Amino acid sequence: MKIIEIDKGIFINIDKVFKIEMVRLEKSEKCYLKFFSGSEGNYAISKEFDDFDNAREWLSMQTIRAGATKEIIEL
């Protein structure tokens, strides 16, 4: 189980997510991520990012950290 914090105080189990959408804010480069789990109407929204590259990089780092934490706990 990989738990990540997607916004201040909002946590999700990334293993239960079946779809991630990157959503751009209107008339802006800023974006956020939508994490879907369970059904299409069940989702959580991440913090805002300056652009898609920052969002992708952040998601990769959060997932890596969650995996590393699990390995440390299992030791």
Domain count for the chain: 1
Residue of 49, 56, 44 whose CA lies nearest to 10: 44
- Residue 20's pLDDT is what? 92
Mean pLDDT, each 10-residue run in order, the chain (75 residues): 86 89 93 88 92 94 79 49
- Residue 75's pLDDT is what? 40
- Residue 63's pLDDT is what? 85
- Residue 70's pLDDT is what? 61
CA 52 remoteness from chain centre: 13
Q: What is the 3-state secondary structure (H, E, C) of the chain?
A: CCEEEEECCEEEEHHHEEEEEEEECCCCCCEEEEEEECCCCCEEECCCECCHHHHHHHHHHHHHHHHHHHHHHHC
Looking only at the bridges linking them, the beta strands covering 43-45 and 31-37 are: antiparallel
- Residue 25's pLDDT is what? 93
Quote the domain boundaries for residue 10. Answer: 3-74
